[in-house]
Amino acid sequence: MQSTSLTALQTVPISDMIWVDLYRPTPEEQIIVEEKFETKLHSRQETEEIQSSARYEETDTEITCISNFLTLNANGTYFSETVAFILKNQVLISYRNSELRTFAELYKRMQGAARWYSTGYHVLVSIFELRIDLDADLTELLAKEVANLTKNINIQQQAAEDTLFQIAQFQENTMVMRENIIDKQRVISAILKSDYFPEEIYPKLRVMIKDIGSLLDHARFNFERLEYLQNTVLGLINLEQNKVIKIFTVASVIFMPPTLIASIYGMNFDFMPELKWLLGYPFALLLMILSSALTLFIFKRKKWL
């Protein structure tokens, strides 16, 4: 039976409970849970500051587990939300500060097949199983977005800048995703080493470890693909810039001989016969045109253009 009543939390015996999910718990709710289960709930700041090496701990009376859950923002970026778990007396206590799709999906499953979730151990493993499936969906979504970006590369200046920005955002998403997947790998590996979980859960945990390995390989491939795409875009931008520079270089070389001729005839020497020659001006212009044409011919012949 599922209940959101604070009274039920106080009156229902622990032996009849499987899972207590605290979503943005009030101080009163925290006190009730701590007193009922004789445990201590970490604050949000404490859970975020706990080192990764201490995110899974076992004692003779309880198991404490802290993990990050990946969430997709409306702007297409990923961020991690910390969720803490305590297993005591076969009851799972989870506390979080964000709506997470994993928990909503599990609520639906438990309503349809409650017999599969006989203890808090089963609920905890199911949460991570669902989370891994959702991480796989996000990984596939990211791969499709990268593939679409690859097909629509445009090397125009503004478009290229937008493409590089998208690549950087995808790289950041991939790194955040990989960190979250590694976090799940660490937790599942710790659970596999535990002697407290029911025996029938361990085969499922081994499958989950294999799935996590596949996700890490996929995330690594996505990151390598993004690096290749980034290098490709930068290479195309450089080629485009080189074309522009080449045009200016050729123009400069072509106009160098006429500039030299104009400079010679612009010198203020007293004895320059062409200055008093009737055809001097047309002769200078013709000489400039011929020198430019000759330079252009030589460049084309040498295939420098």
Token duo for residue 135: 């991480």
Is this structure's pTM higher than 0.75?
A: yes
C-alpha distance from residue 244 to each of 144, 247, 251 (Å): 34, 5, 11
Q: What does the pLDDT read at residue 305?
A: 65
Q: What does the pLDDT read at residue 46?
A: 67
Q: Where are the alpha helices (DSSP H) in the chain?
A: 6-11, 27-37, 44-49, 101-112, 120-151, 157-193, 202-254, 256-265, 280-301
CB atoms within 10 A of CB 58: 16
Which conformational region is residue 145 in: left (phi greater than 0), alpha (psi within -120 to 50 degrees), or beta?
A: alpha
Q: What does the pLDDT read at residue 128?
A: 94
10-residue mean pLDDT series, the chain (305 residues): 71 87 88 89 70 76 90 79 91 90 88 82 93 91 86 66 85 90 91 90 93 93 89 83 82 86 80 78 87 84 73
Q: What does the pLDDT read at residue 124?
A: 94
DSSP 269: -
Q: Which secondary structure element, helix H or strand E, spans residue 96, and what is its range?
A: strand 91-96
Q: What does the pLDDT read at residue 208?
A: 94
Q: What does the pLDDT read at residue 127?
A: 94
Q: What does the pLDDT read at residue 154?
A: 63
88: helix, strand or coil = strand
DSSP 38: T
Q: What does the pLDDT read at residue 206?
A: 94
CATH class of 6-241: alpha beta
* DSSP-derived pairing of the beta strands 19-23 and 91-96: parallel
Q: How is the beta sheet containing 62-72 ordered, strand by strand?
A: 19-23, 91-96, 78-88, 62-72, 56-58
CA–CA dist 259, 104 (Å, integer):
77
Sequence spans of domains, the chain: 6-241, 255-301
